[in-house]
Amino acid sequence: MATSTRKPESLVIAFMSMFLVLVMSGPIVVEGRAFFVFGDSLVDSGNNNYLVTTARADSPPYGIDSPTRRPTGRFSNGLNIPDLISEAIGNEEPPLPYLSQELRGQRLLNGANFASAGIGILNDTGFQFINIIRMYQQLDYFQQYQQRVSRLIGKPRTERLVSQALVLITVGGNDFVNNYFLFPYSARSRQFTLPDYVRFLISEYKKLLLRLNSLGVGRVLVTGVGPLGCAPAELASSGTSSGRCSAELQQAASIYDLQLIQMINELNRNIGKTVFIAANTNQMQLDFLRTPRIYGFITSKVACCGQGPYNGLGLCTVLSNLCPNRELYVFWDAFHPTEKANRMIVRLILTGTTKYMNPMNLTSALAL
């Protein structure tokens, strides 16, 4: 029978070789603060690129001022609010769209963006866009995400990653402009008066936030709906030359934002700690909508990209009017702010007083 002539030294060398291979391949390491994003087109970073839907921003001139100068799926000339918050909290890159094939391995630990343009709090909002990721499905994907990460780093570390993460949720505007006010005598406007509709929205939103809380998150930034009646699309549809914001939509935004803050405060009291932080984006934007020149804009009524009155009709395309300097415009297209306007909003989210942030700004909340 043959005898082994393998020496102990060779076993040591083999073991060390395997060790070096493992070291060079690199372990999965959790670094920084994960960031998760839920909501609509104001925070969608490209999920809709992977869907058969008309609610897409994957063609020029979208992204004209992005680092690559190419469309990314963001409804912006450049960076959007999640990008800028990511910068502010020190993350090397913003969370990737959840549907992106690049979201795997170490990059999963940065978080994920589940947002989808066109969606609302209600499942019937945005029906005209056909295939979009509604809020219940975004939360289902978040559960799926946690399962994927657990297979990488284990369940306890995944739970810690989620509890220490920052969450941004921006939703609600489409429930007005693409549902209740979509056309005269819409189904929801026949079902509810405006005050009753807002109460219904808030009650449904509360269910979504409670489910989000049950999934283990520890800090959630909830933004209001913004000045809906002042968007170029609304100014164009009004058919007047006065440039006045739609009083009805502004009333809706004001009622909604007030009740949203009340609901956030109630949730925090019931939970026993500050999990949810409300950003009054309506008030933030009204400041530079009313006095744009003080903030370095030449107009807060005309969109940079579009056509028709106020450049507020239709989509932003290669055939649209396009302003040469996006820094001078509050609105990029018929509904969405420019990168410069987004930067001003994020600055107030980070450092704003209780005029804008409730119960505290994001910097204070992340220091807790």
For the record, the structure tokens of 310 come out as 């106020």
For the record, the structure tokens of 288 come out as 């530079």
- At 305, which amino acid appears? C
Can you tell me the distance from the alpha carbon of 26 to that of 302, in angstroms, rounded to the nearest whole number?
51
Active site (catalytic) residues: 41, 333, 336
Owner of token pair 């903030």: 295
DSSP code of residue 306: E
**Cβ atoms 349, 363 nearer than 8 A:** no
Owner of token pair 């087109």: 41
Can you tell me the distance from the alpha carbon of 231 to that of 335, in angstroms, rounded to the nearest whole number?
5
Can you tell me the distance from the alpha carbon of 191 to that of 194, in angstroms, rounded to the nearest whole number?
10
Burial of 92 (0-12, 13-18, 19+ CB in 10 A): exposed
Burial of 23 (0-12, 13-18, 19+ CB in 10 A): exposed
Q: Where are the alpha helices (DSSP H) in the chain?
A: 8-25, 81-88, 135-153, 155-163, 173-175, 187-191, 194-214, 232-238, 247-271, 281-290, 339-351, 362-366
C-alpha gyration radius of the chain: 23
Can you tell me the distance from the alpha carbon of 147 to that of 80, in angstroms, rounded to the nearest whole number?
28
Q: What are phi and psi of 67, to 5 degrees?
A: -55, -35
Q: What Å distances lie between residue 133 and 114, 175, 235, 249, CA to CA?
A: 8, 15, 29, 25
**Cβ atoms 264, 206 nearer than 8 A:** no
For the record, the structure tokens of 22 come out as 């493992």
| DSSP H or E stretch at residue 68 | none
